[in-house]
Amino acid sequence: MAPNLTSFKDDALIALDNLTDRASGLVNPSIRLGVTGLSRSGKTVFISSLVHNLLNGGRLPVFEAVRSGRVSKVRLEPQPDDAVPRFQYEDHIAALVRDRIWPDSTRAISQLRITLEYESASGWNRLFSPGRLSLDIVDYPGEWLLDLPLLAQDFREFSNNSVARARAPGRAKLSAEWLTLASSAGSTATADESSARRLAESFTGYLKACKADERSPSTLPPGRFLMPGDLEGSPALTFSPLPDLPEGRAPKGSLWAMMERRYEAYKKHVVSPFFREHFARLDRQIVLVDALQAINNGPEALLDLEQALADVLACFRPGTNSWLSSLLTRRIDKVLIAATKADHLHHESHDRLERIAARLVDRAAESIGLSGAGLEVMALASVRATREATVNHDGHALPVIVGTPIAGEKINGEIFDGERKTAIFPGDLPEDPEVLFKTMETRSGATTYLESAQPLPELSFVRFRPPHLEETGGGLKLSVPHIRLDRAMQFLFGDRLA
């Protein structure tokens, strides 16, 4: 069951927002699609490619409304929320298509509206008027989504969870300085602003080190410590978890009481407004994950990603909207978990990547009742940066991928300049996802990792530049190539174009 993340006041404000949205939808039907992702998963690339393919007649054979020719016109329009920054589609697509560089990652919330005019598949509906649907794409950092579980945690639970993660083998070196400082501070000592600031800076340094580490841990709340914006230096961001808190309540005037108060302020002034004003208004959601990065970094990284996805799915309000419930509150009735960068593998491994992604979310999805038609898992590449080929190796045909490695990428000791193409064999993902996970046994709160009985496959993943796009006779570049982007569109909003 999903945790209760809202108060009665929040629920009332959410209901008011939804009534306003529904009233607007009577004139201009719309669907709000949330787009987020974890650890360099490609949110900006996904949105840019989706919009570019819709605007430029991309190859979308699985997207039924386009395949059948029922979509007559697609256009960008002003977004409905004036207080939310616009997603800078034009800048991002120019970086991809013209400069062949990957655009900057999401640092804050943004929004874009794209409207599709279409002919209904129903002969009865076609008698009235052409259909129109506005897709409001809400782009937000994955760190903000991972903050939502904090709404259901008090300071003690937050501290225990944070310290347990920090003491995990993959993070122990990165967290050592902060844990030493936090342990020596004394939770019941008298509150002191200098001590609070030193602890907060050390804790932030640990989170940043995790973010920069090649193992890329996925669970790094509080998210605003990594992207503070105008909150930098505020008391709401000047706190830290405390290890080994004693039983009972925080003594008045203690460091513990100060940290607890500021943690609650962070939830009230940072996390709750995001949930109420943005997340609770979503109709559909896609969560992008870089499962290949986790696979490359071993079982602990995979387990960390599994926990992050469990935290993410626990935030959703699964279920189908009835007519009355849709007026007062919304349920995200479709969630897509997309394992990105499928173009880094030969197509023979795409199904295996999907099975690994499904293994990552199965337990969490079952626990909150989000399954079946409401949840889809797929492997995709928002922008296909490679092509497939075959080379002869020791008398055997070897399936490879061909692309232009990013400048500085190193393969077999050779450093690439960002201009020359090369062919690589990325390796094969295992048919059984469990091969990639070390067996976990939990006893008395301690997790033991047992070595897999089978040897792990040798995998080689390289970062490639975006592809060079040929131009048509009129000078218009062709639409961005992709893998299964059309399948994602069909799942996320194809039913609204029926």
**Chain segment 62-113, per-residue pLDDT in tens:** 999 999 999 999 999 998 889 999 999 999 999 999 999 999 887 889 999 9
Residue of higher predicted confidence among 342 and 305: 342
| Burial track 37-58 (b if 16+ CB lie within 10 A, e otherwise) | bbbbbbbbbbbbbbbbbbeeeb
pLDDT digits over 242-300, tens only? 999 999 999 999 999 999 999 999 999 999 999 989 998 999 999 999 999 888 887 77
Q: Using 50, 70 and 90 to split pLDDT, how confident is the model at 323?
A: very low
In this predicted structure, what is the pLDDT of residue 459?
Answer: 75
Return all residues near 81 (Cβ < 8 A) that are at least 6 apart.
111
- For residues 409-415, give the mean pLDDT: 87
| Tokens 């994955």, located at residue | 142
Helix (H, G, I), strand (E, B) or coil at 400: strand
Is the pLDDT at 439 greater than 70? The verdict is: no
Q: Using 50, 70 and 90 to split pLDDT, how confident is the model at 315?
A: confident
Residue of higher predicted confidence among 467 and 17: 467
Q: Do residues 404 and 270 touch, judged by C-beta distance below 8 A?
A: no
C-alpha to C-alpha distance for 465 and 407, rounded to whole angstroms: 9
Q: What separation in angstroms does the CA of 147 have from each of 170, 304, 307? A: 21, 16, 13
Strands 387-393 and 396-403: antiparallel
Q: Do residues 211 and 202 touch, judged by C-beta distance below 8 A?
A: no
Mean pLDDT for the chain overall: 84
Q: Where in the chain is the domain with CATH 3.40.50.300?
A: 8-140+278-384+483-497
In this predicted structure, what is the pLDDT of residue 193?
Answer: 94
- For residues 31-43, give the mean pLDDT: 90
**pLDDT more than 90, % of the chain:** 54
Helix (H, G, I), strand (E, B) or coil at 397: strand
Is CATH 3.40.50.150 correct for 8-140+278-384+483-497? no
Neighbours of 104 (CB within 10 A): 11
C-alpha to C-alpha distance for 111 and 188, rounded to whole angstroms: 45
- For residues 447-466, give the mean pLDDT: 66
Angle among Cα 287, 210, 106 to the nearest 5 degrees reads: 40
Q: What separation in angstroms does the CA of 39 have from each of 140, 213, 288, 296, 491? A: 13, 11, 9, 14, 24
C-alpha to C-alpha distance for 154 and 264, rounded to whole angstroms: 8
In this predicted structure, what is the pLDDT of residue 256?
Answer: 96
pTM over 0.85: yes
C-alpha to C-alpha distance for 354 and 377, rounded to whole angstroms: 6
Q: Do residues 203 and 178 touch, judged by C-beta distance below 8 A?
A: yes
Is the pLDDT at 445 greater than 50? The verdict is: no
Residue of higher predicted confidence among 132 and 13: 132
Neighbours of 96 (CB within 10 A): 24
> Which phi and psi (to 5°) does residue 471 adopt?
-105, 150
Least reliable range by pLDDT among 80-89, 325-334, 420-429, 465-474: 325-334
Is the pLDDT at 17 greater than 70? The verdict is: no
Residue of higher predicted confidence among 272 and 457: 272
- For residues 357-381, give the mean pLDDT: 81
C-alpha to C-alpha distance for 205 and 199, rounded to whole angstroms: 10
Highest mean predicted confidence (pLDDT) among 115-129, 239-253, 453-467: 239-253
β-strand partners of 37: 288
- For residues 201-227, give the mean pLDDT: 85
Is the pLDDT at 346 greater than 50? The verdict is: yes
β-strand partners of 347: none
C-alpha to C-alpha distance for 426 and 312, rounded to whole angstroms: 30
Residue of higher predicted confidence among 461 and 91: 91
Secondary structure of 315-371 in HEC code, one letter for each residue: CCCCCCCCHHHHHHCCCCCEEEEEECCHHHCCHHHHHHHHHHHHHHHHHHHHHHCCC
β-strand partners of 410: 415
Q: Do residues 112 and 80 touch, judged by C-beta distance below 8 A?
A: no
Q: Using 50, 70 and 90 to split pLDDT, how confident is the model at 9?
A: low
> Which phi and psi (to 5°) does residue 303 adopt?
-65, -35
Least reliable range by pLDDT among 132-136, 302-306, 328-332: 328-332
Structure tokens at 24: 């607007």
Is the pLDDT at 306 greater than 70? The verdict is: yes
In this predicted structure, what is the pLDDT of residue 231?
Answer: 82
C-alpha to C-alpha distance for 354 and 378, rounded to whole angstroms: 5
β-strand partners of 379: 339
In this predicted structure, what is the pLDDT of residue 396?
Answer: 81
In this predicted structure, what is the pLDDT of residue 297?
Answer: 80
β-strand partners of 398: 391
One DSSP character per residue, 72-85 reads EEEEEE--S-TTSP
Q: What element of type H or E holds 197?
A: helix 193-212
Position 487, amino acid: R
Neighbours of 479 (CB within 10 A): 18
